[in-house]
Structure 1
Amino acid sequence: MNRAFSPFVKSLFVAMMAVSGLATAAEHAPAAVKVDAAKGATLYNDGDNARGLPACASCHGASGNSTIAANPKLAGQNAVYLHKQLVEFTTPQRQQPVMSTYAKMLTEEEKQNISAYLATQTQKPGAAKNKDTIELGKKIYRAGIAEKNVPACASCHGPAGNGMPTRYPRIGGQHQDYTTAQLVAFKANGRKNSAEMSTIAARMSDDEMKAVADYVAGLK
């Protein structure tokens, strides 16, 4: 009788051990972060003096609407994308002296909270400034540069530059200087967190980058 049931008992024992292992793993797994946009708003606007963390608003403006052309507007940006960038500022993929320093000071929860807050804000519109290059910028954005194998920016970032949530950022209304600087960084391999953008930027001239950046600034 014992021999007849021993395979069953053995199987039951293995199953119980497996369940126990899963339970143990679940006990030690990190708890899911509960996103709190209100806490994100407080940290964004006030910083944390105790840790020497300045208010994000001091560089990126009230509600994420930067008035400094070198600093990006963050209002209305996709939360997943914003969080991804904050994480990548702590890695070799995207190094920037100021942002890398402060991103490393933020907890995972704080990164998520700030991203959630900014995603709920409304971006103030920008405007194209160079009438001499607006048509070139428009052509590149909508149709790409066929002879250089540069795809239309709109194919990923959308007709109005609203991006594609979780995959491609919102770029419509962004400062010309900031957009140009990012394209240059991708081309020079100074920014390494998108192989796709590095490939595309490498095929573009400085004038083409500036033209499309200016056109993008006026998208709504």
Structure 2
Amino acid sequence: MSRSLFALIFAVITCSAHATGTAKVSAHAAPMGDAARGKEIATTVCAACHGADGNSLIPVNPTLAGQSYDYLLKQMTNFKAADGQPALRANAVMGGMIAPYDLGQMRDLAAYFATQTAKPGAAKNEATIKLGQTIYRRGDASKGLPACASCHGPTGAGIPAQYPRVGGQHADYAEVQLKAFRDGTRANDPAKIMRTIALKMTDAEIKAVTDYMAGLH
């Protein structure tokens, strides 16, 4: 079996498992939020870290503009502790920021950011472009590492309700998240898909692929 065929088969299996794990996220349990109401919160509360239109100017804070509604809503609800249970995604800053908002307001915020236009990013390290491109497009069959494009798409646009947009995302933020998945400090990925993938990646591979993703559009 060729390496490319192995990578393709592995990626299909991986994405199928992820799709099963995200079934609850993919189906809207409630109507979409109101983007106009979300804008009121976003431009007064979220803007300092994520930009008024969701285009963050701070590399360690994610750009939210153009991200899928379902993914945004899932992350916000995961940041919030509920029913005496700890938050599924532990983050002291976001846990505190999202605490005052109810589900309706989170839907409004998700609707607002999802309808904004993401500004293009850029890869900055020419020395690692080839490695980043190889990992993103082909993965590494020798260690069972699937191609990122198999779930996030060739341009990094993702598949709404299942896989998030990664194209144009700040490399610094994406690098931190992959390392968090790898060491288990972030554990809100369905079926442990991202934790399993990140465990197969070295620091150099993570840095290369996140820099490459930043330039996708």
Residue 147 (structure 1) aligns with: 142
Q: State yes or no: 1:130 paired with 2:125.
A: yes
When normalised by structure 2's length, the TM-score is 0.82
Check 1:201–1:34 CA distance in 2 against 1; reply closer, same or farther (3 A cut). closer
Which segments of 5 or more consecutive residues in structure 1 lack a partner in the other structure?
1-30, 47-54
| 1: CA distance, partners of 2:154 / 2:177 | 20
Could you tell me which of 178, 185, 197 is aligned with 2:180? 185
When normalised by structure 1's length, the TM-score is 0.80
Offset, 1:62: 2.4
Paired amino acid for 1:62: A
Paired amino acid for 1:179: A
CA deviations over 1:135-154 (Å, ceiling 9, x no partner) = 00000000001111010000
Bigger CA radius of gyration: 1
Paired amino acid for 2:72: L
Quick check: 2:33–2:109 contact (8 Å CA) kept in 1? no
| 1: CA distance, partners of 2:169 / 2:177 | 11
Check 1:182–1:67 CA distance in 2 against 1; reply closer, same or farther (3 A cut). same
| 2: CA distance, partners of 1:206 / 1:67 | 24
Q: Which has the higher contact order (CA 8 A, sep 6+)?
A: 2
SS class of match (2:210): helix
Structure 1 range deviating more: 31-40 or 112-121: 31-40
Q: State yes or no: 1:196 paired with 2:193.
A: yes
Aligned residues, how many?
A: 182
Quick check: 2:42–2:52 contact (8 Å CA) kept in 1? no
Paired amino acid for 2:35: A
Quick check: 1:33–1:109 contact (8 Å CA) kept in 2? no
Which segments of 5 or more consecutive residues in structure 2 lack a partner in the other structure?
1-28, 81-85
Residue 205 (structure 1) aligns with: 202
Q: State yes or no: 1:38 paired with 2:36.
A: yes
Residue 67 (structure 2) aligns with: 77
Could you tell me which of 162, 167, 170 is aligned with 2:165? 170
Offset, 1:92: 3.5
Paired amino acid for 1:68: I
Check 1:207–1:34 CA distance in 2 against 1; reply closer, same or farther (3 A cut). closer
How big is the alpha-carbon RMSD for the aligned residues of Structure 1 and Structure 2?
A: 1.3
Residue 20 (structure 1) aligns with: none
